[in-house]
Chain A
Amino acid sequence: MAEPNSAAGDRPLIQVVGLTKIYRVGVETIHALRGLDLTIGRNEMVAIMGSSGSGKSTLMNMLGCLDRPTSGAYMLNGRDVSRMGAKELAQVRNEEIGFVFQSFELLPRQTALENVELPLIYAQGGWRGRRQRALAALDRVGLAKRVDHRPNQLSGGQRQRVAIARAILNKPSILLADEPTGNLDSATTAEILSLFRQIHGEGQTVVIVTHEDEVAAHCQRVVRLRDGRVLSDLPIEQDIAGRHLPAVHAAASAAGKGGA
């Protein structure tokens, strides 16, 4: 991972230019992304928002290297990943991306520790000392005492913490969270979001895809999509200034105090 970082130099971490994605579902053609441009710098914490059909899921799949664009370029850490083959993309995902999903996606029969170790199974070398790395990651998310528990022995919040530990294990370029609090109650949501802020505070770039203003309020910057294009791209203070959502304002001011 040292190599792409040094190669990146002062370039932005994520640079997306004229990204389009066209799906064909039966006879219908769906333009999920229509020439989207986006730049995200190192150690930013960005929320990507939009209603369903706005293209935010498609964008997340692109940013996470799970899918390739129909046209346009995606420079991740100085490398064009938009034209890579399946094998190379798998390697990029392994090294550069840490996914956090709404439904956690833990392997049910494996312990928290084994779940966290999962990315190392597919790593190119560097799997030595895996136990220590996985334990360190679990410690960072506050689950040092739950390493031998299986997912069904953990609460929803704890499961998401395991998933976050798995995502940050390889020290990825991007921590990419897709509705990470969608399945959690509000108290747990707050805990998980403050964990994201803590990890961001330690230098991690975080991108959260969400449709909830309360979640977005914990980020520094909000990118809103509509019809496959960027509708607005503003710092959090300006984004919520135009809205009258007291709860969001409260969360944002809390974020301002506690966050970066």
Chain B
Amino acid sequence: MLNPLFWLQAITLAFSQIWANKSRAFLTALGIIVGVASTTAVIAALTGLKSKVLSEFESVGASKFFVFPDRPDNAPRNMYPWEKILLKTAEVKAIRDECTLVKAVTPITEVGLDVESGDKRIEGITVSGIWPDWHEVQNRFVQEGRPFSQIDVDSERQVCLINEDAIRELDLPANPVGEAVLLGGRRFMVVGIVETTQARFFGMNTSSAEIFIPFSVAEKMQERNFFMRIEGLFASPETAQEGEDEVRFVLRRMRGLTPGEPQTFQVAAIDRFIEQFKALAAGITAIAGGIVGISLLVGGIGIMNIMLVSVSERTREIGLRKAVGATPMAILMQFLLEAVTLCLVGGFIGIAFGRLAAFGLTRIPGAQLDQADIPFWAVVLSFAFSALTGIVFGMFPAIKASRLDPIEALRHE
């Protein structure tokens, strides 16, 4: 149909038209430029935020779960007093022994204690009581010394693990393994140093002095009804849903809850948070897409306007082209290609600005956007939408040009 020479000249002509009317073309394409630039910047920010958050989730572990006491919604306070719904050590043991899909589980209870080492005394440090599985659940292992063992828990040994902040605050030697510290007046031996790299969860748990003791020891140092939470790992993220059901089943049985009776605890898997966050990010991306749709619509109207001007300015040229044998289709294609080229150039500039904006975002201190980057699919999509805008809004002027009567067109002043 249309020969390669036609396409070659049509593309050349499209670019030379833009070049010949640079400022006009720029103003026309401004709508597209702004639309594409703002959207790619938003997508870049979202992508950066998403990969940041997901990597934080990942560091926590996608197959991780939490159990904590929870009063049923709308239930009267006196029907579910705290002492009744608090988690019990027996319940953690049941989860450990009976849930086949749970790979590791630990209770965690926190006691505020005064800590002494030599002359140094610090009041109210949080001391956590844990099981040996804690290392695997938290993905935090010891740098020096040894981790807790089951014997530490079973024999209620007075041993502790500490982190580097605690070593610094207590003026302990660089390798304090074997040193003794006083926790709430009791003597504990330091057996290991826990990694400082923490699973930082949205800025929570900011690094500070941390001391860990066997759960069985902490239990004795707590008041009668003390609060504990349970953290654990499922065997794999794929079986997280079934694992949750299993934990729920065991706990309901332990608490003697009949079917239909409301639950007095919550089981929450990280997996679920990730799903929710992804859905949220997708929603925001869709809203950004809607915004780009509107700005491309506005930009497209500008394109249509300028193409109509172009057709009218070049009526004689169209007449001549028709006289030397251009079919209506050839004229239509030429003007359509021109509109598409204009939009693609606009899209290209827009992506360049968007990239610049994304780079700027990574430089905002404390904005958590240091991973902001325009993903490849957004670049492709921006070009595709720009081209689509050119086709949709260039179509009417192109059809108008293709239908011009050559005699009238050649007579046009």
Q: Which residues of A contact B (CB under 8 A)?
A: 61, 64, 66-67, 86-87, 90-91, 93-95, 97, 99, 101, 105, 107, 109, 118-125, 127, 130, 166
Most buried by B among A90, A109, A121, A124: A121
Cα of A124 to Cα of B326 in the assembled complex, Å: 11
Is B324 in contact with chain A by the CB < 8 A criterion?
yes
Asked if residues A95 and B325 are in contact (CB atoms below 8 Å), the reply is yes
Cα of A65 to Cα of B162 in the assembled complex, Å: 96
Is B157 in contact with chain A by the CB < 8 A criterion?
no
Cα of A142 to Cα of B384 in the assembled complex, Å: 49
Shortest Cβ distance from B324 into A: residue: A119
Task: Report A95 CB to chain B, min CB distance, Å.
Answer: 7
From B2-10, B92-100, B218-226, B274-282, the one touching the partner chain is B2-10
Task: Report B411 CB to chain A, min CB distance, Å.
Answer: 9
The 8 Å CB contact of A94, one of B20, B320, B324, B410, is: B324
Shortest Cβ distance from B2 into A: residue: A122
The 8 Å CB contact of A123, one of B3, B16, B317, B406, is: B3
Asked if residues A120 and B5 are in contact (CB atoms below 8 Å), the reply is yes
Asked if residues B407 and A90 are in contact (CB atoms below 8 Å), the reply is no
Interchain Cβ contacts within 8 Å, total number = 69
The 8 Å CB contact of B321, one of A87, A118, A120, is: A118
Most buried by A among B9, B325, B328, B406: B325
Asked if residues A122 and B407 are in contact (CB atoms below 8 Å), the reply is no
Question: How would you classify the secondary structure of chain B's contact residues: helix, strand, loop or mixed?
Answer: helix
Q: Which residues of B contact A (CB under 8 A)?
A: 3-6, 9, 16, 20, 316-317, 319-330, 406-407, 410
Asked if residues B323 and A122 are in contact (CB atoms below 8 Å), the reply is no
Given contacts A107-B317, A125-B3, whether A64 and B329 have CB atoms under 8 Å apart is no
Given contacts A127-B5, A130-B5, whether A93 and B323 have CB atoms under 8 Å apart is yes
Closest 8 CB pairs of A and B: A94-B325, A122-B325, A90-B327, A119-B324, A127-B5, A105-B320, A122-B326, A87-B327
Task: Report A246 CB to chain B, min CB distance, Å.
Answer: 35
Cα of A101 to Cα of B412 in the assembled complex, Å: 14
Known: A66-B406, A97-B323. 16 other contacts (CB 8 A): A64-B323, A67-B407, A87-B327, A90-B322, A91-B327, A93-B322, A93-B323, A99-B324, A105-B320, A109-B20, A120-B5, A122-B326, A122-B327, A122-B330, A123-B3, A125-B3
Chain A residue contacts of B320, Cβ below 8 A: 101, 105, 107, 118
Cα of A105 to Cα of B330 in the assembled complex, Å: 19
Chain B residue contacts of A90, Cβ below 8 A: 322, 325-328, 330
Task: Report A191 CB to chain B, min CB distance, Å.
Answer: 23
Asked if residues B3 and A124 are in contact (CB atoms below 8 Å), the reply is yes
Task: Report B44 CB to chain A, min CB distance, Å.
Answer: 39
Cα of A95 to Cα of B326 in the assembled complex, Å: 11
Asked if residues B328 and A119 are in contact (CB atoms below 8 Å), the reply is no
Asked if residues B316 and A122 are in contact (CB atoms below 8 Å), the reply is no
Cross-chain pairs A/B with CB under 8 angstroms, 13 sampled? A66-B406, A93-B324, A97-B323, A118-B324, A120-B5, A121-B5, A121-B6, A121-B9, A122-B325, A122-B330, A124-B3, A125-B3, A130-B5
Shortest Cβ distance from A124 into B: residue: B3
Given contacts A109-B20, A122-B6, whether A166 and B324 have CB atoms under 8 Å apart is yes
Chain B residue contacts of A124, Cβ below 8 A: 3
Shortest Cβ distance from B327 into A: residue: A90
Task: Report B337 CB to chain A, min CB distance, Å.
Answer: 13
Most buried by B among A87, A93, A97: A93
Given contacts A66-B406, A121-B5, A121-B9, whether A105 and B316 have CB atoms under 8 Å apart is yes
Cα of A8 to Cα of B328 in the assembled complex, Å: 28
Task: Report B134 CB to chain A, min CB distance, Å.
Answer: 76
Chain B residue contacts of A87, Cβ below 8 A: 327-329
Chain B residue contacts of A121, Cβ below 8 A: 3, 5-6, 9, 326, 330
Chain A residue contacts of B326, Cβ below 8 A: 90, 121-122
Task: Report A57 CB to chain B, min CB distance, Å.
Answer: 9
Chain A residue contacts of B325, Cβ below 8 A: 90-91, 93-95, 119, 122-123
Cα of A33 to Cα of B12 in the assembled complex, Å: 42
Chain A residue contacts of B323, Cβ below 8 A: 64, 66, 93, 97, 99, 105
Chain A residue contacts of B324, Cβ below 8 A: 93-94, 99, 118-119, 122, 166
Cα of A66 to Cα of B319 in the assembled complex, Å: 10
Task: Report A68 CB to chain B, min CB distance, Å.
Answer: 11
Chain A residue contacts of B330, Cβ below 8 A: 90, 121-122
Task: Report A117 CB to chain B, min CB distance, Å.
Answer: 8
Chain B residue contacts of A61, Cβ below 8 A: 407
Chain B residue contacts of A120, Cβ below 8 A: 5
Task: Report B325 CB to chain A, min CB distance, Å.
Answer: 2
Cα of A118 to Cα of B4 in the assembled complex, Å: 13
Task: Report B401 CB to chain A, min CB distance, Å.
Answer: 13
Cα of A95 to Cα of B328 in the assembled complex, Å: 16
Cα of A67 to Cα of B323 in the assembled complex, Å: 11
Shortest Cβ distance from A101 into B: residue: B410
Asked if residues B328 and A109 are in contact (CB atoms below 8 Å), the reply is no
Task: Report A84 CB to chain B, min CB distance, Å.
Answer: 12
Cα of A48 to Cα of B58 in the assembled complex, Å: 87
Task: Report B403 CB to chain A, min CB distance, Å.
Answer: 9
Cα of A91 to Cα of B328 in the assembled complex, Å: 11
Chain B residue contacts of A125, Cβ below 8 A: 3
Shortest Cβ distance from A176 into B: residue: B323
Given contacts A66-B406, A121-B9, whether A86 and B328 have CB atoms under 8 Å apart is yes
